[in-house]
Structure 1
């Protein structure tokens, strides 16, 4: 069962934190920066060392980020203990989840270490059986697969989750939110605000991850957010707009006016954009068949899917894949 927050680093404690950062191959450079820079900024703004960190990799070899940047560090199995382990990962997760790595994660957790996993990092914790019985999230693109593969984990679409000594987050922006939350709960709201100001970053309120980026001002309009979340959760079986309006608690006309006012598009147009963005992701990042991509994004007719995809992206799925070979 998950431990109480009392045993976690996510609680008030002015003592400095000893942090280890495990960097996996092909992690996103922004996710890496979102992990490290809030700690650096907190030290600078506080005028003292609140975070001390050291880099680790899966083996003795440097970790290569998606940008080509290489991070040198000790092998993770050489780490005896720390207060907080940050696990930053991106692609090739199954390949990198070696017994040696998973054993190191279990061993460190058993010492009382808190662990925060970013982007693809939650996969490693789940593979090590450390998320069983916990609430957790991962990058929105992988949430469905993650939920199916790890049924003992309560998978949420939240930007980040805290469950006992374990924290999980989506990509770079949710990671910044999580790190600011750590700074706030441990060292106070004032410092968290000063770190946020240093990045000119406005933390997002508690909300779900969704397939499209929206203006931050939209979060002042909860009805629109609720509608967008419903759309994001039903890409494979789109709901009628009147049904979304009912579930949102407003009339269809009011929903349409809200979307036009705040997003400059109709609900139908936003919904279609979300579906076709997901289709583009599946076309470029997976080997999913065109038929299955169509079904996964709510198109029962291959012809209508092909027409909509080409109108949105200027090419067909097959032509796009041929160009990228």
Structure 2
């Protein structure tokens, strides 16, 4: 599941009663966003419940089920979603089904309180796992054979756990990054951006920063400069000088904040801007290349193909956009 691939990933979501609606959205919406932005069905999900009937979320909105969670020998990754009163769902039958599923499922994930259910089924023994901060102490005492850690999410070879709704968004962005690359993950993260109108400081969130934890104001400032200079990219040394630190220091801050060096983030911003123009306009590719900081159409096409696994012409053709003869040039 966590290897580079553009093949469709099917995921089963086992939703427990009294799950938060935002938790369910935290899993689904990044996958939906990746599908929409890519123009491909990269992800498909199926909603399951313990008995196959709908379950009510904490907001009273029912979640319909495609089926019940049974004893099938499925290899599809399984995400177990739970929020409040998870103990009511932790029946011997459910624990047995989870234990059996672990023999076949490529990955089983405990989403928020789903971590409790995985631990109850002894699926986290001798593994690292995380849990919502309010439950950390109780969880650590209840399961001494689980290495509880205070991380937003934890990925091991066949288990995943998350510490809440927003950490689950982070997890889904990381899955997209590992499967489709940093560029798509960055563009999906922009779907979850927001800005408070009452805040007018230099540390205000950049649209590209949401979901990537760009809390350091120097990183935020550098990203804003990148976004304002797509057509004529700023070299790293000059960018760092304008932020007020050394290029080496800026590289370290970027790596800590985004998991990528500045040049990778900058290229991702430019490629995402270019892809929007490829999809949403009829502009010739040479014009798009110039508008996004590439010195030639051929250099743009090479970089585009390396990131999106198809050429700009392929994208337009696949999405059935009308093109002109000039747009077909590489």
- TM (norm. structure 1) is 0.59
CA contact (8 A) 1:88 1:118 kept: yes
Match of residue 211, structure 2, among 203, 213, 233:
203
> Which residue is equivalent to 2:121?
128
CA-CA distance at 1:59 after TM superposition: 1.2
Gaps of 5+ in 2: 194-208, 220-330
Of the three residues 208, 217, 220, the one matched with 2:215 is 217
CA contact (8 A) 2:15 2:81 kept: yes
* Uncovered stretches (5+) of structure 1, i.e. residues with no partner: 1-8, 206-215, 222-325
Distance, in Å, in 2 between the alignment partners of 1:220 and 1:136 is 32
- Give the superposed CA RMSD: 1.8
Which of 43, 51, 61 does residue 35 from structure 2 map onto?
Answer: 43
Deviation sequence 1:146-179 (CA, Å, 0-9, x none) = 1110111100010110111111001111000000
Q: Is this contact kept in 1: 2:71–2:100, CA < 8 A?
A: no
Tell me what 1:90 maps to: 83
- 1:218 Cα offset (Å): 5.5
Residue 83 of structure 1: how far off its partner (Å): 2.5
Contact map agreement 1:18 1:82 (CA 8 A) in 2: no
Shift of residue 14, structure 1, vs aligned partner: 2.6
Equivalent-residue separation in structure 1 for 2:142 and 2:23 (angstroms)? 24
Question: How do 1:1-325 and structure 2 match up within 5 A?
Answer: 9-73=1-65, 74-77=67-70, 79-200=72-193, 202-205=210-213, 217=215
Contact 1:126 1:150 in 2 (8 A): yes
More moved, 82-91 vs 35-44: 82-91
How many residue pairs align between the two structures?
Answer: 203
Q: How far apart are 1:220 and its partner, in Å?
A: 6.9
Kept in 1, the 8 Å contact 2:130–2:149? The answer is yes
* Whole-angstrom CA distance in 2 between matches of 1:150 and 1:70: 32
Q: CA deviation at 1:32?
A: 1.0
Task: Report which of the two structures shows the higher radius of gyration computed on alpha carbons.
Answer: 2
Q: Report 1 or 2 for greater relative contact order, CA contacts < 8 Å, sequence distance ≥ 6.
A: 1
CA distance in 2, matches of 1:64, 1:30: 13
Asked whether the 8 Å contact 1:20–1:82 carries over to 2, the reply is no
Moved over 4 A (4+): 218-221
Please give the alpha-carbon distance, in whole angstroms, between the structure 1 residues aligned to 2:217 and 2:77: 31
1:82-103 Cα distance to aligned partner (Å, 9 max, x none):
4211111011112211111112
SS in 2 for 1:142: helix
Q: Take 1:172 and 1:220, find their aligned partners in 2: how far apart are those partners?
A: 27
> TM-score, normalising length from structure 2?
0.58
Tell me the SS of whatever aligns to 2:151. Answer: coil
1:111, distance to aligned residue in structure 2 (A): 0.7
Q: How far did 1:79 drift? A: 4.7
CA distance in 2, matches of 1:109, 1:54: 18
